[in-house]
Amino acid sequence: MGTEAPECVPERPARARRRAWVQWAPLTLLTLAVLAGAALWFAGVTGAARLVWAAVTVVALVPAVWTTLRQLWRRQFGVDVIAVLALLGALLVREYLAGAVIAVMVATGQALEEYARRRATRDLRALLERAPRQARRRTADGGIEVVPLDAVRAGDRLVVGPGDVVPVDGTVEEPATLDESVVTGESRLVGRAAGEQVASGVVNAGAGFGLRARRNAAESTYAGIVRLAGEATARKAPMVRLADRYAAAFVPFTLLLAGAAWLLSGEFVRAVAVLVVATPCPLLLATPIAVVSGLSRVARRGVLVRDGGSLEQLGRARTLLLDKTGTLTAGRPRAAETVVAPGGDRDEVLRLAASVEQLSPHVLAAALVRQARERGVPLAEPTGVTEEPGRGVTGHVDGCLVRVGQLAGEPPEWADRARERAERAGLSTVWVGDEHGPLGAILLEDPVRPDARRTVRRLREAGLSRLVMVTGDRPRTAAQVAQVVGVDDVIARCSPGEKAQRVREESARAVTVMVGDGVNDAPALAEAHVGVAMGATGATASADVADAVLTVDRLDRLADAVEIARYARRIAVQSATVGMGLAVLAMLVAAAGRLPPVAGAFLQEGIDVLVILNALRALGGGLRRREVPPHTRELLDRYSGEHGGVRDVLARLRDTADLVATRPDDPGCVPALRDVHRRLVDEVLPHEAAEERHLYPALAGPLGSDEATSTMSRAHVEIARLVERIGGHLAASPDGRLRREEVTDLLAALYGLDAVLRLHLAQEEEDYFSLNPSDGEASPDR
């Protein structure tokens, strides 16, 4: 029993300082010894100076010999052999200063490589260091006990204190303020309302709150991330193994060149000079540093890549296959529109449906309840709720029978039109009725991610030449999504086995990446050269077989990862090529007797430092997108939030247009028209005007110019013109009745405004709001 915070083990400052000392101590001591020898030399004590440099050479030679012998015992053959021969040769020809410089050079390379490795993997280590070990659990008698994390089970009621790490995936029981940066990469705090789900690993940045566990610790999001992070070390990529093969050819070439120089000139010192210049091989330094740097960068962008090989493959990819649901679309249905019977109330239909569905675990039920809460519709407690699989839910709300689900019997004319509209738009329909018949229908959509089309464009710019969408959905719905996002091909009604077969076929032609989020995607992910799982959705099976996991629910992170992988690979090849080319030139000069060992040692030191520093460039750069200033992010966040209200007005606008089209003489027609016009004037037009004044000028920098928003400004003008046109028709109908001759023009204005406004909102969300880091965007590389 107790209240201490769940344990989290960060790296202590003393331990960090000790590791830094161990990392840099050999180089520091060897450098000081060489400088001491130089001081003795200039003081005229040359014998002592040579003795100090000889000692430095021996100190470096002993561990180098030991390392080389261990590698040879393991049948590993690398350039350490050249380092040993160079140090030994320097001692034999009494070029002690050259030997000392080689020693410093080897220590410098080791220190810089260790620094780069630690610098590149610090984000991965941070995941491991802050993993929770304990949790606070409520007891049956109302107390709180601290238990090991392994003891937590689904359904347990936990308490998350201020500053605590959320130990398991769960549902918050009261409002919470969270720091989700470790899991999502987003540095800004987010609020979660009661009933919302949270992932393990996020930090409580506000007051304590209750949490109902949904999974045990081993199955939770953070545990999966930690497992992957533990594997995401710099295991040798195919690029690095290629470097080893080059090294196997380079060592014999070096020995032959050194031997030829000795035999042809009769000067052993030339052979030593060749060995000195060839030590160590830049290829083996530059490649792993660049690859590990790339692993670190993609981790900071919210993508955990399993190993260096996967990163290198990602950098070579030419074909991309994407699942639709949960990858290109949000994967969570939302209420797009509510259609009601003549004289019905949209809010009342939504209230009845959401009230009954509160007890249903179905994904469509969750969408209805979420929509009602977002619109502030008060829900009643249902009674006598029963659910018939495949048909729907029945219950009583305020004493009245309510049915939610499939439509039974012959539909009335308005319901038939609503069903046809839903089928044409690719929407799902949930019918709401009572004992007398249908009251209305709620049309549900799985919206395309706002960042999907922009991400597809960025992937093409990064070098992916073929993008294919694979889905088990209906052909019409799949084709609509494919047209919106701009992929090259679409394969609908695709079973898990067919997905895997298609990935195999594409992989035979080019390096292929497969992106998916569900358990059914696991076979396809395993078949791809690089399988990428949308891990933020909690698809454990797909994440377990994937080579990379997106820890944030944003597809644009994949484009980040591809761009970073290509950049890291390009830096690795560039560094290795330049370093090897310079080394070979220096070796030829040394073989000709134009470069003595001491000068060669200093030259090779410079070459090695050059390629290592160049490889470290992989820690930054390579991303094409522009960063958004904080003030602009706030504006994007504000106006994005207002789109929900605009869409509500849009739904009213469509209902009113349908009413005018079908029953223009209805007494309620003009009042409905006046109400929607009032909301357009009071809510929509001020929103558009504020965007024009504040948001669009702020976007000029991130988008490159003021002209980037000019077409959207033109849409604002058209929206205002159509609203004024509708107002003109109302002004011409003071008696509350529409003139027959005006109905056609009024309908053109209503439906035209509906189309323009819907397109305008979609364009803003795709082109502007998808730039907003508050939707999960990682902060810039830092």
Q: pLDDT per residue over 601-616, tens digit each?
A: 788 778 878 888 888 8
Q: How far is the C-alpha of 32 from the C-alpha of 28, rounded, in Å? A: 6
Q: Which two tokens stand for residue 706?
A: 């003021």
Q: What is the structure's pLDDT at 28?
A: 84
- pLDDT digits 0-9 by tens, 437-460: 889 888 888 888 888 888 888 889
pLDDT above 50 for 776 = no
Q: How far is the C-alpha of 285 from the C-alpha of 60, rounded, in Å? A: 18
Mean pLDDT for the stretch of residues 405-415: 80
pLDDT above 80 for 782 = no
Q: Which two tokens stand for residue 389?
A: 């699989």
Q: What is the structure's pLDDT at 320?
A: 94
Q: What is the structure's pLDDT at 236?
A: 44
Q: How confident is the model at residue 9 (pLDDT cuts 50, 70, 90)?
A: very low
Question: Is the dihedral angle over the CA atoms 161, 162, 164, 168 positive or is it negative?
Answer: positive
Q: How far is the C-alpha of 308 from the C-alpha of 292, rounded, in Å? A: 7
Q: Which residue has the higher pLDDT, 187 or 579?
A: 579
Expressed in angstroms, the distance from the first to the final Cα of the chain is 42
Residue type, position 469, single letter:
M
Nearest to 544 by CA among 304, 217, 238, 326: 304
Alpha helix segments (H runs only) across 556-628? 556-591, 597-615
CB of 681 within 8 A of CB of 730? no
Q: Which two tokens stand for residue 607?
A: 């070459």
Residue matched to tokens 């390379």:
109
Mean of all residue pLDDT scores within the chain: 80
Question: Is the dihedral angle over the CA atoms 142, 144, 147, 149 positive or is it negative?
Answer: positive
Q: How confident is the model at residue 187 (pLDDT cuts 50, 70, 90)?
A: very low
Annotated catalytic residues are 323
Percent of the chain with pLDDT over 90: 13
Other Cβ atoms less than 10 A from the Cβ of 48: the count is 15
Q: Whole-prediction pTM value?
A: 0.68
CB of 518 within 8 A of CB of 322? no
Other Cβ atoms less than 10 A from the Cβ of 361: the count is 8
- pLDDT digits 0-9 by tens, 699-736: 888 887 778 888 889 999 999 999 999 999 888 877 77
CB of 179 within 8 A of CB of 202? yes
CB of 116 within 8 A of CB of 612? yes
Q: Please state, in angstroms and as integers, the Cα–Cα distance from residue 639 to each residue in 43, 684, 694, 715, following that order.
A: 74, 11, 10, 16
pLDDT above 70 for 23 = no
Residue type, position 381, single letter:
E
Q: How far is the C-alpha of 472 from the C-alpha of 516, rounded, in Å? A: 12
Percent of the chain with pLDDT over 70: 83
Long-range Cβ pairs for the range 667-670 (8 Å, 24+): 667/736, 668/343, 669/738, 670/730, 670/733, 670/736, 670/737, 670/738
Q: Please state, in angstroms and as integers, the Cα–Cα distance from residue 419 to each residue in 50, 333, 348, 357, 416, following that order.
A: 94, 17, 20, 21, 5
Residue type, position 519, single letter:
V
CB of 765 within 8 A of CB of 643? yes
Q: What is the structure's pLDDT at 778?
A: 38
Q: Which residue has the higher pLDDT, 269 or 753?
A: 753
Q: What is the structure's pLDDT at 749?
A: 93
Q: How far is the C-alpha of 383 from the C-alpha of 389, rounded, in Å? A: 19
**Residue 334, SS3 per DSSP:** strand
Q: How far is the C-alpha of 57 from the C-alpha of 34, rounded, in Å? A: 10
Q: How far is the C-alpha of 351 from the C-alpha of 376, rounded, in Å? A: 10
Q: Which residue has the higher pLDDT, 222 or 175?
A: 175
- pLDDT digits 0-9 by tens, 536-584: 554 454 556 678 888 777 788 888 899 999 998 889 888 888 888 888 8
Q: Which residue has the higher pLDDT, 32 or 281?
A: 32
- pLDDT digits 0-9 by tens, 35-87: 898 898 888 888 888 899 889 889 888 888 887 788 778 776 666 677 787 78
**Residue 437, SS3 per DSSP:** strand
- pLDDT digits 0-9 by tens, 95-142: 888 888 878 877 776 675 666 556 545 555 555 566 677 888 988 887
Q: How far is the C-alpha of 664 from the C-alpha of 750, rounded, in Å? A: 13
User: At 434, which helix (H) or strand (E)?
Assistant: strand 428-434
Q: How far is the C-alpha of 210 from the C-alpha of 2, rounded, in Å? A: 16
CB of 225 within 8 A of CB of 172? no
Residue matched to tokens 């470069």:
595
DSSP 546: -
Q: Please state, in angstroms and as integers, the Cα–Cα distance from residue 266 to each residue in 93, 260, 600, following that order.
A: 13, 9, 19
Q: How far is the C-alpha of 76 from the C-alpha of 248, rounded, in Å? A: 10
